[in-house]
């Protein structure tokens, strides 16, 4: 148990604090108009004043020229190319590539709107940074499933919260109730926020997510000291309450990318399913490792020391994230 906890925390510590939240994917939208010309929208992730070095390419050098308009948005730089003339062939059969993607750990969501009304969506990855547009493929909404899966697994803060829930829960039954409550809660606010039925300040949400992990660390210390309380008796209540915050944070990246018109319910559903699958994969991996280690013979160790190291490490990471995000939310970044 001690070695697993320390190993997992070491992996969390390797993540840069400024990137504690998920790595934001890039977004490339190509729209073929009724007159055959093409509009291109490119959202490139940025960290402060630094832009991730990515460059979209469309076969025929259509977007190699200077963009018609450049805008700045939170965590993104947005570029527009309008009324591109691709000739009689149009988009069908053209290769789309993102140069520099193979040197990053982020992805690019590609949305293609064809003039016949069909849509095609793909996820370009560092291992596969290019694809060919096929007018006969149609909408590939399952790309949002992969985005949701990768979203949770690259969100160190969310994983640290789930890891804290694992430590807080006693027994499989309590763990099941706790994880289910967290799932239900963040599914609610993910849907409400992504569908613009509820609006929260993103900076405040990110700050409160960090505070939720800090709160969990304090409760873990109380548990180690043998203290009682509602949180320790019913951890699912904490999981549900803070899950509402985490769901709003999940929706942040999805809102910035956007949902395809005409496929909003399916895309939102698949994104949420991807988040759940990633979360279950993490829980399964952690619990499986715990089970395997419990079957091995280890030298005498100090479980209390391991618990203290784990809880104070979680508290230290989350306290730093809380101060950093509060600083940014108050406009000092």
Nearest Cα neighbor of 53 from 96, 98, 20, 111 is 98
* Cβ-based burial of 40 (10 A; exposed 0-12, middle 13-18, buried ≥19): buried
Average pLDDT over residues 138-148: 66
Q: pTM for this one? A: 0.67
169 plus 290 within the same structural domain: yes
Beta-strand (E) ranges in the chain?
Answer: 26-32, 38-47, 50-51, 55-58, 69-73, 76-84, 95-99, 108-113, 119-124, 130-132
Contacts of 114 (CB under 8 A, 6+ apart): 32, 91, 92, 120, 135
Instruction: Provide the 3-class DSSP secondary structure of residue 236.
Output: helix
Spatial distance between the Cα atoms of 245 and 256, rounded to a whole number of angstroms:
17
Q: pLDDT-derived band of residue 47, with 50, 70 and 90 as boundaries?
A: low
Please indicate whether residue 151 or residue 241 has the higher confidence score (pLDDT): 241
Q: pLDDT-derived band of residue 40, with 50, 70 and 90 as boundaries?
A: very high
Output the pLDDT for position 257.
Answer: 64
Instruction: Give the residue from 140, 165, 189 where a domain finishes.
Output: 140
CB 42, CB 78: distance < 8 Å: yes
Tokens representing 310? 């784990």
104 plus 249 within the same structural domain: no
Calculate the average pLDDT of the chain.
79
Tell whether the model's pLDDT for residue 307 goes beyond 50: yes
Residue-wise pLDDT tens digits, 173-183:
898 999 999 99
285 plus 252 within the same structural domain: yes
134 plus 170 within the same structural domain: no
43 plus 174 within the same structural domain: no
Spatial distance between the Cα atoms of 252 and 268, rounded to a whole number of angstroms:
13
- Residue range of the domain that includes 188: 2-21+155-329
231 plus 106 within the same structural domain: no
Instruction: Give the residue from 140, 163, 192 where a domain finishes.
Output: 140
312 plus 173 within the same structural domain: yes
Counting the structural domains of the chain, the total is 2
Instruction: Tell me the range of 109-123, 127-141, 222-236, 301-315 where mean pLDDT is highest.
Output: 222-236
């Amino acid at each position: 148990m001690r070695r697993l906890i320390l190993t997992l925390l070491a992996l969390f510590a390797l993540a840069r604090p400024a990137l504690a939240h998920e790595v934001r994917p890039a977004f490339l939208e190509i729209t073929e108009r009724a007159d055959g010309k093409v509009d291109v929208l490119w959202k490139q992730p940025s960290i402060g004043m630094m832009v991730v070095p990515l460059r979209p390419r469309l076969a025929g050098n259509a977007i190699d020229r200077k963009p018609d308009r450049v805008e700045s948005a939170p965590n993104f730089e947005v570029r527009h190319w309008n009324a591109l003339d691709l000739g009689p062939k149009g988009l069908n059969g053209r290769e789309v590539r993102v140069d520099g993607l193979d040197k990053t750990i982020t992805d690019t969501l590609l949305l293609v709107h064809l003039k016949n009304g069909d849509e095609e969506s793909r996820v370009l990855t560092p291992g596969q940074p290019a694809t060919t547009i096929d007018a006969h493929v149609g909408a590939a909404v399952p790309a949002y499933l992969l985005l949701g899966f990768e979203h949770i697994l690259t969100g160190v803060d969310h994983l640290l919260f789930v890891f804290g829930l694992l430590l807080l829960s006693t027994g499989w039954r309590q763990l099941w109730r706790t994880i289910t409550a967290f799932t239900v809660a963040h599914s609610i606010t993910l849907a409400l926020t992504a569908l613009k039925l509820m609006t929260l300040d993103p900076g405040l949400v990110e700050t409160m997510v960090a505070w939720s992990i800090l709160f969990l660390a304090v409760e873990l210390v109380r548990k180690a000291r043998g203290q009682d309380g509602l949180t320790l008796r019913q951890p699912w209540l904490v999981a549900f309450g803070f899950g509402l915050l985490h769901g709003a944070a999940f929706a942040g990246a999805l809102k910035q990318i956007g949902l395809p018109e005409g496929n909003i319910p399916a895309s939102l559903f698949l994104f949420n399913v991807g988040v759940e699958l990633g979360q279950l994969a993490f829980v399964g991996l952690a619990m499986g490792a715990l089970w395997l280690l419990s079957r091995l013979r280890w030298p005498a160790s100090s479980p209390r020391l391991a618990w203290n190291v784990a809880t104070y490490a979680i508290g230290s990471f989350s306290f730093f994230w809380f101060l950093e995000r509060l600083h940014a939310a108050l406009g000092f970044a």
